[in-house]
Amino acid sequence: MKIRLGKAAGTRDTSGLRFMARGSKMRLQIAIIQVTPFEQNCALIWDEDSKAAAVIDPGGDVPRILAAIQETGVEVKDIFLTHGHIDHAGGAAELAEKLGIKITGPGIEDEFLLSGMAEQGKMFGLQARDCAPDSWLKEGDTFTIGSAVFNVLHCPGHTPGHMVFVNHAANFGVFGDVLFRNSVGRTDFPYCDGPAMIHAIKTKLMILPDDFAFICGHGVASTIGAERRSNPFIR
């Protein structure tokens, strides 16, 4: 099964921002919606056969996320969060309420960030509602979007409860703010743990195959092979 990468950033038009996991059993589609002044890559992911969908990291700009859902004609059943930062989770409570669906994740270690979302908003001049997920995720959990199975990897360091979502069948993942094209997540907040993040990247992500493609929380998508060759933070 192969995934073809499209542009994952640089425009606010969701229509040209899809890439597809091609395979005999599963047709997984992804639209990226850049949200918040931080241009966070909110991902709308769906199973083309059933149109069952999930939104990962609705950081804000909820009307634009709803417009993308309407445009694609999918049925969003879940919201998943990689971590508790405002640009990833700031719109989760509002979107969950509007769609009547549940919020899952990240790790319970990020509860202090999610319950302090309004406070985080004040720091950045953004409006956001506190977020109380319906359930938390932990290492080894799985969830499905239609027939696509995602494995949950706990990759702490950027935040204590940061989770990464990988779909081995499609060779595709949503990595949040852990690994970026030629970079890694920031670790300068008081609760960060830089060595733990690098350890998680090396032991859980860099063991994936070269052609494993992933969406980053910000900027363009990449592959494990590209990072293995050129990312200066993980040499």
Chain residues binding Zn ion by CB under 5 A are 85, 177
Nearest to 103 by CA among 117, 113, 92, 112: 92
- Contact between 224 and 208 under an 8 Å Cβ cutoff? The reply is yes
Helix/strand/coil for 145: strand
- Contact between 180 and 216 under an 8 Å Cβ cutoff? The reply is yes
Minimum distance of Zn ion from residue 180's CB (angstroms) = 11
For Zn ion, which is the closer residue by CB, 20 or 198? 198
Calpha distance 217→180 (Å, rounded) = 8
For Zn ion, which is the closer residue by CB, 40 or 223? 40
**CA distances from residue 6 to 16, 23, 32, 75, 221 in whole angstroms, order as listed:** 8, 17, 10, 23, 8
Minimum distance of Zn ion from residue 39's CB (angstroms) = 13
For Zn ion, which is the closer residue by CB, 27 or 85? 85
Nearest to 39 by CA among 17, 20, 61, 55: 61
Minimum distance of Zn ion from residue 185's CB (angstroms) = 6
Minimum distance of Zn ion from residue 186's CB (angstroms) = 7
Minimum distance of Zn ion from residue 162's CB (angstroms) = 8
Minimum distance of Zn ion from residue 50's CB (angstroms) = 31
For Zn ion, which is the closer residue by CB, 192 or 226? 192
For Zn ion, which is the closer residue by CB, 26 or 197? 197
**Other CB atoms closer than 10 Å to residue 148's CB: what's the count?**
23
Calpha distance 166→164 (Å, rounded) = 7
Strands, E assignment, 5-117:
18-22, 28-35, 40-47, 52-56, 75-80, 102-104
For Zn ion, which is the closer residue by CB, 46 or 175? 175
For Zn ion, which is the closer residue by CB, 74 or 113? 113
Minimum distance of Zn ion from residue 1's CB (angstroms) = 29
